[in-house]
Amino acid sequence: MSDSNPPGQFSLNAEQHAIRDLALSFATGQLAPHALRWDRDKYFPRDVIRSSAALGFGGVCVAEDVGGSALSRLEGVLIYDSLATACPCIAGYFSVHNMVASVIDRFGTEQQRKQWLPRMCRFDLLGAYCLSEPSSGSDAAALSTRAVHDGGAYVLNGVKQFISGAGDADVYIVMARTGAPGPRGISAFIVEKGTEGLTFGPVEKKMGWNAQATRQVILEDVRVPAENLLGVEGTGFRIALSALDGGRLNIAACSLGGARTALGKAAAYLKERIAFGHPLAEFQALQFRLADMITELEVAQTFLWRAASALDAKESNAPILCAMAKRFVTDAGFDIANQALQLFGGYGYLTDYGIEKIVRDLRVHQILEGTNEIMRVIIARNLLDPR
Domain limit, last residue, from 125, 156, 191? 125
Q: Is 192 a catalytic residue?
A: no
Query: Do 218 and 261 reside in the same domain of the chain?
Result: no
Q: In this structure, is residue 1 part of a structural domain?
A: no
Task: Give the whole-angstrom CA distance, residue 192 versus residue 231.
Answer: 17
Task: Give the whole-angstrom CA distance, residue 2 versus residue 25.
Answer: 20
| Chain Cα centroid distance, residue 227 | 28
DSSP structure class, residue 135: T
pLDDT band at 137 (very low <50, low <70, confident <90, very high): confident
Residues 6+ apart with CB under 8 A from 213: 42, 44, 164, 165, 166, 167, 168, 203, 204
Mean pLDDT taken over the chain? 95
Q: In this structure, is residue 357 part of a structural domain?
A: yes
pLDDT band at 1 (very low <50, low <70, confident <90, very high): very low
Average pLDDT over residues 82-111: 98
Taking alpha carbons only, the member of 96, 165, 61 closest to residue 369 is 96
Q: What percent of the chain has pLDDT over 70?
A: 97
Query: Do 244 and 366 reside in the same domain of the chain?
Result: yes
Task: Give the whole-angstrom CA distance, residue 76 versus residue 82.
Answer: 10
Taking alpha carbons only, the member of 7, 106, 2 closest to residue 318 is 7
Domain limit, last residue, from 99, 125, 151? 125
Query: Do 256 and 364 reside in the same domain of the chain?
Result: yes
The domain in which residue 93 lies consists of 14-125
DSSP structure class, residue 43: -
Query: Do 52 and 156 reside in the same domain of the chain?
Result: no
Query: Is the predicted pLDDT of residue 2 greater than 80, yes or no?
Result: no
Mark 224-260 as b/e (b = at least 16 C-beta within 10 Å).
Answer: beeebbbbebbbbbebbbbbbbbbbbbbbbbbbbbbb
Q: In this structure, is residue 4 part of a structural domain?
A: no
Query: Do 193 and 243 reside in the same domain of the chain?
Result: no
Task: Give the whole-angstrom CA distance, residue 4 versus residue 277.
Answer: 50
Q: What pLDDT does 3 receive?
A: 47
Strand partners, 164: 214
Q: In this structure, is residue 208 part of a structural domain?
A: yes
10-58 pLDDT, tens per residue? 689 999 999 999 999 999 999 999 999 999 999 999 999 999 999 999 9
318-368 pLDDT, tens per residue? 999 999 999 999 999 999 999 999 999 999 999 999 999 999 999 999 999
Query: Do 371 and 258 reside in the same domain of the chain?
Result: yes
3-state SS class at 133: strand
Task: Give the whole-angstrom CA distance, residue 337 versus residue 356.
Answer: 8
264-275 pLDDT, tens per residue? 999 999 999 999
Catalytic residue among 298, 315, 369, 373: 369
Amino acid at 313: A
In CATH, what number is assigned to the domain containing residue 294?
1.20.140.10
Residue 145: CB atoms within 10 Å:
22
Q: In this structure, is residue 57 part of a structural domain?
A: yes
In CATH, what number is assigned to the domain containing residue 22?
1.10.540.10
Query: Do 185 and 322 reside in the same domain of the chain?
Result: no
Query: Do 74 and 117 reside in the same domain of the chain?
Result: yes
CA dihedral (52, 111, 250, 83) in degrees, to 10, reads: 0
Q: How many CA atoms lie within 13 A of 278 on its CB side?
A: 6
Query: Do 311 and 247 reside in the same domain of the chain?
Result: yes
Q: In this structure, is residue 2 part of a structural domain?
A: no
Q: In this structure, is residue 109 part of a structural domain?
A: yes
Strands 171-177 and 186-192 turn out to be antiparallel
Asked if residues 176 and 156 have their Cβ atoms less than 8 Å apart, the reply is yes
Task: Give the whole-angstrom CA distance, residue 238 versus residue 327.
Answer: 21
Domain limit, last residue, from 77, 96, 125? 125
Asked if residues 67 and 54 have their Cβ atoms less than 8 Å apart, the reply is no
pTM above 0.85, yes or no: yes
pLDDT band at 65 (very low <50, low <70, confident <90, very high): very high
Query: Do 250 and 376 reside in the same domain of the chain?
Result: yes
Q: What percent of the chain has pLDDT over 90?
A: 94
Report how many domains make up the chain.
Answer: 3
Asked if residues 176 and 221 have their Cβ atoms less than 8 Å apart, the reply is no
Query: Do 376 and 243 reside in the same domain of the chain?
Result: yes
Mark 297-316 as b/e (b = at least 16 C-beta within 10 Å).
Answer: beebbebbbbbbbbbbeeee
Q: In this structure, is residue 6 part of a structural domain?
A: no
The phi-psi region of residue 111 (left if phi > 0; otherwise alpha if psi is between -120 and 50; otherwise beta) is alpha
In CATH, what number is assigned to the domain containing residue 220?
2.40.110.10
Query: Do 166 and 95 reside in the same domain of the chain?
Result: no
